[in-house]
């Protein structure tokens, strides 16, 4: 096990003990990867990593994953073969660690069949969501994590302008999406998502790229990101295909000012809700408050969405190492949408952008 994984296990054990929880049961690739460097999904097979409040760990996994777990540095592995009962290993774990009436925190992404199988063994134990416990650790990024996130952010930044060569009247959303993915992959990132939304479809924040042709004058939202060694990037840029309307330029300017207002507010000790309010106020003052329909941002790291969430009313205080998006938007149904997103991290003194600065005016792509 690598040193940083030992530190994370120790920190989790301390957190469990402080909250009166006997053990944490991880099943998702992100949770297990963060804690022990093992990024696999058991799918329908029983696969867990247990961490006790004493810092002990044990993995129960399919035999077909045992070599990968050993290579990742997992030290106590209990493999089972197809046709065998994996719960025999869980019953042994329960006896060894005294789980009969324990309080067990489970991975938020745990499959129902895994949880129900464990509950069938430990009928007197209390199972609770463990996501908030793990989130307390994952949201504070160390220098190595920040370095990986900056690499992922730079790959996304550097992929943007080359991908614009595919954006022209008559090209489809999916063709531009393919260009974004290809550019990120060529630069060493593993593309995780890309959304391209043109014209009226840009008024749908989670539009799925389609074979819709881009038209001259359309506003186009491009939201994309990649993975570098398990850490994510996420960036949104808005451009126009050819000459855009005066309204589109005006809305872009409002969203850009809201974006910077949110970033300028973010600093150690500031509540997440205050960052949301700063960005939202700009849009409301411009008369478009009803068209900003989502939170200002979400945390990011090994997960694309994680703590802290930049949402109205949140009293969570920002701390050095917190990473999150600042992505205000205005969405005008039947017309167009504009969203501008950078990933930022909180430093000891303020807020640093991991992405290059967005354009100071709506880019018009074309000859």
CB of 262 closer than 8 Å to CB of 297: yes
Distance (Å, whole) CA 255 – CA 292: 10
Measure the CA angle with vertex 216, ends 239 and 292; round to 5°: 40
pTM of structure:
0.93
The per-residue pLDDT for 295 is 98
The per-residue pLDDT for 366 is 82
Enumerate long-range contacts of 27-32, CB under 8 Å, 24 or more apart.
Answer: 27/106, 27/107, 27/109, 27/110, 27/111, 27/114, 28/107, 28/108, 28/109, 28/110, 30/109, 30/230, 30/302, 30/303, 31/107, 31/109, 31/134, 32/59
Domains located in the chain, CATH noted: 3-138 (3.40.350.10), 143-365 (3.90.230.10)
CB of 362 closer than 8 Å to CB of 240: yes
Distance (Å, whole) CA 50 – CA 24: 6
Sheet containing strand 351-353, strands side by side: 306-310, 297-299, 323-326, 342-346, 351-353
**Alpha-carbon separation of residue 341 from 53, 58, 230, 259, 356 (angstroms):** 39, 40, 21, 7, 10
Bridge partners of 343, per DSSP, are: 325
Distance (Å, whole) CA 351 – CA 269: 12
Residues of the chain with pLDDT under 50: none
Selection from 194, 206, 187, 191 nearest residue 167 by Cα: 194
φ and ψ at residue 300, rounded to 5 degrees: -155, 150
Selection from 243, 242, 249 nearest residue 169 by Cα: 242
Distance (Å, whole) CA 108 – CA 114: 12
Measure the CA angle with vertex 312, ends 311 and 316; round to 5°: 65
The per-residue pLDDT for 3 is 86
CB of 31 closer than 8 Å to CB of 107: yes
Distance (Å, whole) CA 210 – CA 92: 51
């Amino acid at each position: 096990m690598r040193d940083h994984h030992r530190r994370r296990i120790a920190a989790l054990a301390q957190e469990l003990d402080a909250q009166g929880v006997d053990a944490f049961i991880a099943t998702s690739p992100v949770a297990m990867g963060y804690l022990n460097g093992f990024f696999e999904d058991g799918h329908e097979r029983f696969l867990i990593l247990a961490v006790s409040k004493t810092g002990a760990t044990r993995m129960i996994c399919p035999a077909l994953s045992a070599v990968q777990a050993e290579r990742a540095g997992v030290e106590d592995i209990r493999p089972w073969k197809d046709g065998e009962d994996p719960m025999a290993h869980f019953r042994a774990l329960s006896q060894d660690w005294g789980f009969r009436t324990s309080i067990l925190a489970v991975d938020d992404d745990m499959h129902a069949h895994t949880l129900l199988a464990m509950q069938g063994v430990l009928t007197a134990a209390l199972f609770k969501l463990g996501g908030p416990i793990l989130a307390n650790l994952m949201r504070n990024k160390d220098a190595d994590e920040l370095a990986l996130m900056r690499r992922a952010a730079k790959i996304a930044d550097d992929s943007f302008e080359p991908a614009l060569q595919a954006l022209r009247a008559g090209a489809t959303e999916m063709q531009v999406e393919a260009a974004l993915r290809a550019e990120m992959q060529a630069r060493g990132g593993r593309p995780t998502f890309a959304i391209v939304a043109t014209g009226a479809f840009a008024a749908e924040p989670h539009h799925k790229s389609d074979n819709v042709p881009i038209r001259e004058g359309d506003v186009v939202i491009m939201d994309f990101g990649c993975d570098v060694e398990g850490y994510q990037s996420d960036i949104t840029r808005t451009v126009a295909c050819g000459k855009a309307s005066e309204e589109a330029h005006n809305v872009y300017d409002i969203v850009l000012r809201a974006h910077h207002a949110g970033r300028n507010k973010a600093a150690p000790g500031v509540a997440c809700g205050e960052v949301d309010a700063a960005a939202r106020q700009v849009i409301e003052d411009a008369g478009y408050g009803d068209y900003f329909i989502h939170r200002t941002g979400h945390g990011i790291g090994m997960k694309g969405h994680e703590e802290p969430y930049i949402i109205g009313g949140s009293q969570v205080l920002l701390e050095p190492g917190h990473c999150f998006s600042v992505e205000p938007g205005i969405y005008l149904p039947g017309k167009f949408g504009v969203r501008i997103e950078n990933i930022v991290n909180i430093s000891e003194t303020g807020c640093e952008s991991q992405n290059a600065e967005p354009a100071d005016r709506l880019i018009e792509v074309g000859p």
